[in-house]
């Protein structure tokens, strides 16, 4: 291990933690145990795992006199050079309890233009002609985000099913005034609102004004800024325009008896939940 460039370079440049150093040993013993118990002779991994897997091959050869194989795949990298994966931050999971269908859909629809071509080629089952057409739309009409939308729709359907995909698409549209918020089921709406700036009100507490609520979410930094939004006709509650600075929501405005959706202009959203 000390002779490997990945280890020696770290030692020379300032050191390596015991956790990182021992990882190769642990993975090598893991491969040896799989070889012994299950006759496992092939380990697959990302290209960054090559040294760890090869260490396992050496251990199998030295301890058991056996042979096995290593197979690594180039890592998926984003346009900024960062790794696409759970250790890079912003993890996305297939388990709906860890990443809701709504958050999963939003992850893909928010793909950077510079990355969407690669993701389509790797993750999509569309034919090459359709993928080429979608890539072209990124160049000719990037604002429409058609490529991202198709990618999000396809992968959400693949992982969570067409019914869940339809729900999250409906939620995405409704939040921006293109559908009825009251028609969304509670679970989907809760998942969608969990991604937004938020504040809460205790059950039975008197409702603050729309201005106070928006300020509490942090979408604006002052009440005067929130009042200005109302004056400029950019204030909405549950997609309904607010015309007065002193407007105070009531329990009748709550969606599913729990939520209020605040919107500033066309795009800036926030949520209020009664707890």
Domain closes at, from 174, 193, 212: 193
3-state secondary structure the chain: CCCCHHHHHHHHCCCCCHHHHHHHHHHHHHHHHHHHHHCCCEEEEEHHHHHHHHHHHHHHHHHHCCCCEEEEECCCECCCCCECCHHHCCCCCCCCCCCCHHHHHHHHHCCCHHHHHHHHHHHCCCCHHHHHHHHHHHHHCHHHCHHHHHHHHHHHHHHHCHHHHHHHHHHHHHHCCCCCHHHCCHHHHHHHHCCCCEEEECCCCCCCCHHHHHHHHCCCCCHHHHHHHHHCCCEEECCEECCCCCCCCCHHHCECCCEEEEEECCCEEEEEEEC
pLDDT of residue 184: 87
Between 12 and 250, whose confidence is greater? 250
Residues 199-244: tens digit of each pLDDT: 999 988 889 898 999 999 998 889 999 999 999 999 999 988 988 8
- The whole-model pTM stands at 0.73
CATH code of the domain in which 138 resides:
1.10.240.10
pLDDT of residue 72: 94
pLDDT of residue 85: 64
> Same domain for 27 and 101?
no
pLDDT of residue 183: 85
> Same domain for 152 and 242?
no
Report if residue 81 sits inside a domain: no
Domain closes at, from 73, 106, 127: 73
> Same domain for 187 and 204?
no
Is the confidence at residue 28, as pLDDT, over 90? yes
- Counting residues of the chain whose pLDDT is more than 70, the rounded percentage is 96
Report if residue 235 sits inside a domain: yes
Domain closes at, from 138, 172, 193: 193
Is the confidence at residue 57, as pLDDT, over 90? yes
Give me the domain span that covers residue 228.
198-274
> Same domain for 133 and 169?
yes
pLDDT of residue 11: 76
- Domain count along the chain: 3
Residues 150-200: tens digit of each pLDDT: 999 999 999 999 999 999 998 888 888 787 888 888 888 888 888 889 999
* Confidence bin at 149 (pLDDT 50/70/90): very high
Report if residue 220 sits inside a domain: yes
> Same domain for 181 and 101?
yes
Average pLDDT for the chain: 88
Over residues 147-151, mean pLDDT: 96
Between 142 and 48, whose confidence is greater? 142
- Counting residues of the chain whose pLDDT is more than 90, the rounded percentage is 51
pLDDT of residue 89: 57
Between 14 and 143, whose confidence is greater? 143
Report if residue 78 sits inside a domain: no
Report if residue 79 sits inside a domain: no
> Same domain for 202 and 182?
no
Report if residue 164 sits inside a domain: yes
> Same domain for 207 and 224?
yes
CATH code of the domain in which 237 resides:
3.10.290.10
């Amino acid at each position: 291990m000390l002779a490997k460039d990945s280890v020696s370079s770290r030692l020379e440049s300032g050191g390596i933690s015991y956790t990182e150093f021992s990882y190769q040993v642990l993975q090598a013993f893991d491969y040896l145990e799989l070889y012994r118990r299950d006759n496992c002779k092939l380990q697959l991994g990302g290209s960054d795992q090559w040294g760890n897997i090869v260490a396992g091959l050496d251990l199998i050869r030295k301890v058991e006199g056996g042979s096995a194989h290593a197979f690594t795949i180039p890592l998926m990298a984003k346009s900024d050079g960062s790794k696409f994966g759970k250790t890079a931050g912003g993890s996305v999971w297939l388990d709906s309890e860890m990443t809701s269908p709504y958050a999963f859909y939003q992850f893909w629809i928010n793909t950077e233009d510079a990355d969407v071509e690669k993701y389509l080629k790797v993750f999509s089952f569309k034919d090459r002609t359709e993928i080429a057409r979608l890539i072209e739309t990124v160049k000719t009409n990037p604002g429409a985000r058609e490529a991202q939308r198709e990618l999000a729709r396809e992968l959400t359907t693949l992982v969570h099913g067409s019914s869940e995909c339809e729900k999250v698409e409906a939620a995405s549209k409704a939040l921006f005034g293109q559908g009825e918020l009251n028609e969304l089921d509670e679970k989907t709406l809760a998942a969608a609102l969990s991604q937004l700036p938020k504040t809460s009100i205790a059950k039975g507490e008197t409702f603050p004004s729309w201005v106070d609520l928006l300020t509490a979410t942090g979408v604006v930094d002052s009440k005067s800024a929130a009042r200005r939004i109302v004056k400029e006709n950019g204030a909405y509650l549950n997609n309904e325009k607010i015309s007065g600075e002193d407007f105070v929501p009531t329990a009748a405005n709550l969606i599913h008896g729990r939520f209020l959706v605040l919107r500033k202009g066309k795009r800036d959203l926030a949520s209020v939940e009664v707890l």
